[in-house]
Amino acid sequence: MTDQTSPDAEILEQNLNKINDLTKRMMAALADRKSHSPNLETPDHQFYAKAAAAYFAEMMSDPSRIIEAQVGYWTESLKNWSEIQQQMAGTVEEKDSEPTKDKRFKHENWEKNPYFKMIKQQYLLSSKTIETITKDMSHLPEREREKVNFFAKQVVDMFAPTNFLASNPDALERAMETNGQSLVDGLQNFVADLESNQQGIAVRLADPDAFVVGKDIATTPGSVVFQNRMFQLIQYSPSTSKVYKKPLLITPPWINKFYILDLRPENSLIKYAVDQGHTVFVVSWVNPDASYADCGFDTYLEEGLLVAINKVLEITRQKSANVAGYCIGGTLLACAMAYLTAIGEDKKVNKATFFTTMTDFKNPGELGNFLEPGFLKGIRAQVEETGYLESYFMSRAFSFLRARDLVYAPAVRSYMMGEAPPAFDLLQWNADSTNLPGRMAVEYLQKLYVDNELVEGKFELLGEKIRLAQINRPIFAVSTIQDHIAPWASTFRGLTKTGGERTFILSESGHIAGIVNPASKDKYGHWHNPEPPRDPEFWLENATYVKESWWHRWSEWLAKGEEKTTPARKPGNKNNPEIEPAPGSYVLKPGV
C-alpha cells in the first residue's frame, strides 16, 4: 500500500461503533427477508450433475486436454510465485508494465505491491484455466455447453479479488484516508438496499431521488385520454402547427416502464417524434399485483394493444395507424398484426416498427441460460404463491447478463468505497422495474422462450394460431449489435419469417443505449443494407456503416408518402376526454 497518515483513533472508534449499530439493522433486515424457491437463486441439481458428468467423461475420453490445462496452471503458478519472491527480495528490476485493459485492476498496487500482484495474477490465471476446461466440453450438447460457460463465468466474476475488502487496494486505501468513514457509509448503503427489498439485495445503480417522474423525466406534454385495468393511453400535445395524417402509437415492454422513450427532453424519442410532426400515442402499462394473476399474453393483446389501436383510430378519425413496439412490446405487436390479418383487419396497421424485438426464440442469447427446468419450476412456485412475479427476479436476471458492470462494480463503489450512487436517468429508469402477472410470466418463458411456439406457428391467442408469415405490412426493424437480451441475429431471423416490405437497421451499442440514441448527438452509428433480410451474417458483410443515429432514417421512412397537411390535434376528443396530464398515474405505481 502507498504511505498513509495514521488514522485518528477517536474517529476510528466512533466509526466502529456506528458499524456495530448498522450491523444490528442489517441482521434485522436479513431476518425479515421473504422466503422463495431456491431454484430462483441457482440452477437445479440436474444442471450440476450434467456438468460434472461431462467433466469426468471428458477426462476419460481426452485426459490430455484436462491434464495439459492443469499442468499449465501449476507451471504458471510457480512462475508467478517466483516473480513475486524476487520482487519482495528486490532482486528483480522493476519494469513499466502495459496499462491493463481490465478496469478492475487500475490501481497501481496491483503491480507494485507483491501481495496484490500475486492475488491478481493467480485470479487471472485461474479464470483462464476454468475457461479453457469448460469451453469445449464435447460430451454436452451445444446449448448445455453455453450454459456451463455462462455460469462458470458468473462464478469467476463473483470471486474477483476486487469484490472483497481484504484484497481491494482502492477500498483499503479509501478506508484509511477516511478513518473508516467509507466503510460506515458503505454499510449504510448496504443496509438501506437490504431494507428496501425483502426478496434480497439489489444494489442501487443510480440515485433514486435525482430525477422525479413527470418533473425531470417523462416531461413531454400530453394527457391520458383513455384507461382500463391494463393500461393508460397517453396522447402527446403537438409542437407543430401541421401534423401527418397517420398517428403513431408506441407500445413499450411491460417488463419496464414506458418512459425509457421519454427520459429528459434531449434524449426523448417521444419528443423527437412529436417534433417531427407525428401525433404520438403511448401505452403506459399497469404495474400488476396479485389481482392480475389471471392475465396472460392474450390479455395484453385483447385488453391492451388491440384496444389501444382502436382508440387511436377513433380519436384521430383514421382507418390505420403507424405502430411501434419495443422488446416484448414488439413481440406483442407482431402477434397483433398476425391476429388482425387472420380476422381480416390487417389494414388497421399502416406501418410497423420493431425495436429489439424477438419473435424467433431458438437462440435467445444469454438470457436463455437462466431457463433451466429448475428456474422455471421456481417461477411457477413463486407465482402460485403470490399471483405475480415480483420485479426483483427479472431485474436481477437481466443484471447478471452484465454482472461486472451492473452487479459487482456498483456494489464495490457503494458498499466498499462508500460512494453515493450517481444521478443517471437511464439507470434510475432501469431500477424502476415492474411486476409480471403470474400466468403471463409462465406463458412467456415456457411457450415463447423454451418451446418457441410463435415462430413455429403453434402459439394461439384469442382462438387464432399466430402465424408470422401472415404479416404483410411495411416493417422497419431496429436491433443493436451488443444486445445481451435480444441478440440481433435472432431478431433478424424472426423478421425473415414475415412478408411485405422490410427494412432492417443494426445500431451500435446495446439493448437500451442503441435505441435511446438521440439524432441531435449521433453518438452511435448504424449499419444499413437495402437488400431484403435473409441471412444475418451475409447481410452485415454487405451492409453500409453510417455514422449517425438511426432516428434520422426512421423519421424519413415514417414520413415517406405523406405530408404534414393535417391541423395539429389536441389530446382526446368528445368521447375520450383528457383524464389527467402525462405521464399519468399508472407509471408512478412502484413495484411491490
Catalytic residue numbers read 327
Distance CA 358, CA 328 (A): 7
Rg (CA), the chain: 27
DSSP string, 194-257: HHT-SS-----SS-TTS--BTTTBS---EEEEEE-SSEEEEEEPPSSSEE-SS-EEEE--SSS-
- Taking alpha carbons only, the member of 585, 211, 267 closest to residue 429 is 211
- 275: cell is 417534433
Angle of helix 306-316 relative to helix 328-342, nearest 10 degrees, comes to: 80
Which residue stretches of 356-454 are H helix? 373-386, 391-399, 403, 409-411, 425-431, 438-443
How far apart are alpha carbons 126 and 133 in whole angstroms? 11
DSSP 261: G
Given a contact cutoff of 8 angstroms between Cβ atoms, the answer to whether 184 and 22 are in contact is yes
Quick one: cell of 563? 405530408
Half-sphere exposure of 93 (CA within 13 A, CB side): 2
Query: CA–CA separation, 121 vs 497, rounded Å?
Result: 49
CA gap 249, 425 in Å, rounded: 24
Q: How far apart are the first and last CA of the chain?
A: 45
> Among 327, 583, 369, which Cα is nearest to 478's?
327
